[in-house]
Amino acid sequence: MRTTVFTAQERRQRREAGDRLARMCQIRLISTVSMLTALFTRVIPLCGSAGWWMGAVCMLPGLATYGLLCAAIRSCGAKTLQEAVLKKCGRAGETLVRLLLGVLFLLEGAGSLTALVTAFTEGIGTEGTQFTMALLTLGAAVLCLHRDALARGIWLMRRGMLLAALVIAALLAGMLRPDGLHPVLGPGGSALQAAWKAGCTLAWPLILLLTAEPAKGGRLRAATVPVFFSLGTGAALCLIYPCEMLIRETGLAGTLLLPARHLPAAAATAAHCLGMLGAFLSIASCLQLGAQQLEMRRRLNWLPFALAGLLALLQLIPARRLWLALTGIMQYAPVLLSVWALILVIRRKKCAE
């Protein structure tokens, strides 16, 4: 068996590449959880059986912004979005974009936390309150806030989670009906407009992939897993449940638990566990990466704990109101990123930095 042996420098480069891969995997998980949650809770409940193509349409603006930013980053020879902004807009611009990214990570974490807590308190039926469940989740997330270990842990778990997802998908495959794609416009024209309005920023989490250096395969490959996984799951949902069931008013918990509701008990529990684990890892990652952005290149060890406390305090707001507020803000926040994208494309490189 031929074995390639590397020099010490090559080993170091390979290790750095491995760390980049783990970091990308972490951000892809955040993106996937975010996009799936948005698809299940904002798009499909409005457009029903049109969700399988409406999801793709809602992703277009986000994908376009992502592409634009990728091109802008490549054009100025930077590795990350922050670096590109630094080169083109100076230190002030970099500070602003870091602030924006940090806040977006936090919003993402808050959204995942609200969804997770609501699914458990209202859906599955735990005895804890919204706040205490949030405390528990954030307490566990704080235990995971290690510099390298969180990304490596997600990398380690990825195959197990993918395998579980495949098994659940295989069980769901037995419930697919091709007529689920019809009627193609779902409830009708006004519903599609509402779905577009609610879901046009569906793909914005892909932009978070630009905050880290690209791994092997480039940025396009990094975006494929969240996009195709989300679209595939959305299409499967439409194929399994008729339009009338998808648009039935069941609240946030109902929409989150619907995909696995009709599975046999063991598979449904496994699906809930998988969703819970994904959401939990996403929350921990958002805390870590958000703190990294807000640190502004300094080392503030207390910051992730403070952010965890902030997220916990947010859960004192009733879940329904909090969810509406978060979805409202997240609809408009990525617009700022699009503005940054245009600035990066148009503005010439600054000479000093």
Partner 1 sequence: MNNDNVSSRLEKSMAAMDALLHRSVNPDMHRRLFRVFRREACVYFMEGVVSSDFLQHYLLSPLMKRSMEETAEYLPQLLAESVPLIEAVEAERYADAVREMMIGKAVVFVQSMKCAVCFDVRMFVRRGISPPLTESVVNGPHQGFNESIRDNITMIRRILPTPDLVGEMITVGDRYPTALSILYLKGVADEGSLERIRGRLQCIKADHVMSIGMLEQLLEDSPWSLMPQCCLTERPDRAASFLLEGQIVLALDGSPQILCMPVSILHLLHTPDDSSMRWQYGSFLRLIRLIGAASTILLPALFVAAVTFHPELLPVTLLTAILESQAAVPLSIPMEMLLMLLMFSLIGEAGIRVPGVAGSSLGTVSGLILGQAAVEAKLVHPLLIIVVAVASLGSYAVPDYGLGLACRILQLLFLGAASVFGLYGVVLLLGVGLIRLCAVRSLGSPYAAPLSPVRLHNPDTLMRFPVWMQTVRTWLASPEAMRRAMGSDRRKR
Partner 2 sequence: MRRVIIILLCCLLAGGCSALPAEERSFAVALGLSVREGVWEAAARIPSYQQSGGYLTLQARGGSLEEAMAGLDASAPMRMHYGQLRLLIFSGELARSGSFVSAVEAVADRAETRLQAQLCVTEDPMKGVMDALEPQTGARLSKSLDVMLETRREMGVIPDASLSGILRMGQRQDPVLIRISLEDEKTLRLTGGEMISGAAGAQGSLSAEEMQLLSLMQGKVRRTMITLEDGTVTIHDAGCRLSLDGNRACVRLKVRCSGSSLTAEGAADALQREVRGVIGRLAEAGCDALGLGRFAIRHFRDAAAWRELDWRHVYPALEWEILVDVQTAAQA
User: Could you tell me how far CA 185 lies from the centroid of its own chain?
Assistant: 27
Taking the complex as a whole, how short is the minimal distance between the CB of residue 343 and partner 2, in angstroms? 41
- The option from partner 1, partner 2, none interacting with 228 (CB < 5 to 8 A, set by class) reads none
- The option from partner 2, partner 1, none interacting with 179 (CB < 5 to 8 A, set by class) reads partner 2
* 167/225 with CB nearer partner 2: 167
* 25/308 with CB nearer partner 2: 308
Which residue reads 């619907």 in tokens?
Answer: 258
Residue length, the chain? 353
Taking the complex as a whole, how short is the minimal distance between the CB of residue 141 and partner 2, in angstroms? 10
* 6/228 with CB nearer partner 1: 6
* 120/204 with CB nearer partner 1: 120
Binding site for partner 1 (CB under 8 A): 1, 3, 5-8, 11, 14-15, 18-19, 22, 120, 124, 126, 140, 143-144, 146, 148-150, 152-157, 265-266, 269, 272-273, 276-277, 280-281, 284
* 161/181 with CB nearer partner 1: 161
Taking the complex as a whole, how short is the minimal distance between the CB of residue 101 and partner 1, in angstroms? 23
Taking the complex as a whole, how short is the minimal distance between the CB of residue 315 and partner 2, in angstroms? 12
* 58/172 with CB nearer partner 2: 172
Taking the complex as a whole, how short is the minimal distance between the CB of residue 98 and partner 1, in angstroms? 25
The three-state (H, E, C) secondary structure of the chain, written as one string? CCCCCCCHHHHHHHHHHHHHHHHHHHHHHHHHHHHHHHHHHHHHHHHHHHHHHHHHHHHHHHHHHHHHHHHHHHHCCCCCHHHHHHHHHHHHHHHHHHHHHHHHHHHHHHHHHHHHHHHHHHHHCCCCCHHHHHHHHHHHHHHCCCCCHHHHHHHHHHHHHHHHHHHHHHHHHCCCCHHHHCCCCCCCHHHHHHHHHHHCCCCHHHHHHHHCCCCCCHHHHHHHHHHHHHHHHHHHHHHHCCHHHHCCCCHHHHHHHHHHHCCCHHHHHHHHHHHHHHHHHHHHHHHHHHHHHHCCCCCCCCHHHHHHHHHHHHCCCCHHHHHHHHHHHHHHHHHHHHHHHHHHHHCCCCCCC
Cα–Cα distance measured from residue 180 to residue 49, given in angstroms and rounded to the nearest whole number: 6
Binding site for partner 2 (CB under 8 A): 48-49, 120, 123-128, 132-133, 135-136, 138-140, 142-143, 175, 177, 179, 182-189, 240-245, 261-262, 264-265
The structure tokens listed for 310 are 């902030």
Taking the complex as a whole, how short is the minimal distance between the CB of residue 55 and partner 2, in angstroms? 17
* 158/248 with CB nearer partner 1: 158
Taking the complex as a whole, how short is the minimal distance between the CB of residue 25 and partner 1, in angstroms? 10
- The option from partner 2, partner 1, none interacting with 150 (CB < 5 to 8 A, set by class) reads partner 1
- The option from partner 1, partner 2, none interacting with 182 (CB < 5 to 8 A, set by class) reads partner 2
In contact, 257 and 64? CB cutoff 8 Å: no
* 149/184 with CB nearer partner 1: 149
- The option from partner 2, partner 1, none interacting with 280 (CB < 5 to 8 A, set by class) reads partner 1
Taking the complex as a whole, how short is the minimal distance between the CB of residue 199 and partner 2, in angstroms? 18
